Amino acid sequence: MLEIIINSFWLIIPAYCANFFPVLLKGKHPIDFGKKFIDGFRLFGDGKTIEGFFGGIFFGIFIGLLLIYLQPFIQQFYTLQFQHNLLTVFLLTTGAISGDIIGSFVKRRFGIERGEPAPLLDQLDFLVFSLVLVSIVRNLNLYFVVFLVIITPIIHYSANLCAFLLKLKDRI
């Protein structure tokens, strides 16, 4: 079980970092430029910003590059089942940011306002898109995927609680 936990987190760290980083930026320029969809609701809302989009991708890639650099050292002590490269890092980070934006698009279509809960959609949109994109170029261990689908909502809720307590977010 410890092997599944370690390798799962090693796989998904760039996506987790890309997904969380935009909260720290507090961007001011909505990626949808305030435009509305044909249903009259905003495309994504004020919470999805140009700064957050690019900042999240760049931060996720930065963390991914650190992982790539550390892999040979870690491999001396522990065999990692998933090896990152530039392509996997790029796919994980863009998948995370894109999944989060698509999740916002879906929420707006259902009339769910920014910050209002959409159970599982809020917690898994970025994860699913990240894993789908990276699975195009790499086979993923099913145990890693199942573990991440189970643990990510717990981590997401905990991170949102911390962000709320630090006054980085208005709601949990």
Q: What is the pLDDT of residues 118-160, one digit of tens each?
A: 888 888 999 999 999 999 999 999 999 999 999 999 998 888 8
3-state secondary structure 29-64: CECCCCCECCCCCECCCCCCEHHHHHHHHHHHHHHH
Answer whether residue 86 shows pLDDT above 80: yes
Average pLDDT rounded to a whole number, residues 51-72: 97
Q: What is the pLDDT of residues 91-116, one digit of tens each?
A: 999 999 999 999 999 999 998 888 78
d(CA 32, CA 73): 42
Q: What is the pLDDT of residues 16-48, one digit of tens each?
A: 999 999 988 888 999 999 999 999 889 998 989
- Residue 80 phi/psi, 5° resolution? -85, 130
Q: Which two tokens stand for residue 63?
A: 């963390």
Q: Max alpha carbon distance in the chain (Å)?
A: 56
Report which DSSP code applies to 140: -
Answer whether residue 172 shows pLDDT above 80: no
Average pLDDT over the chain, rounded to an integer: 92
How many angstroms separate the Cα of 103 from the Cα of each of 56, 91, 126?
16, 17, 8
Please name which of 86, 62, 83 lies closest in space to residue 139, comparing C-alpha atoms: 83
How many angstroms separate the Cα of 142 from the Cα of each of 4, 94, 146, 148?
10, 21, 6, 10
**Model pTM?**
0.91
Answer whether residue 169 shows pLDDT above 80: no
Answer whether residue 171 shows pLDDT above 80: no
Instruction: Convert 58-77 to b/e letters by CB count within 10 Å (16 or more is b).
Output: ebbbebbeebbeeeeeeeee
CB 151 within 8 A of CB 12: no
Residue 13's pLDDT is what? Answer: 97
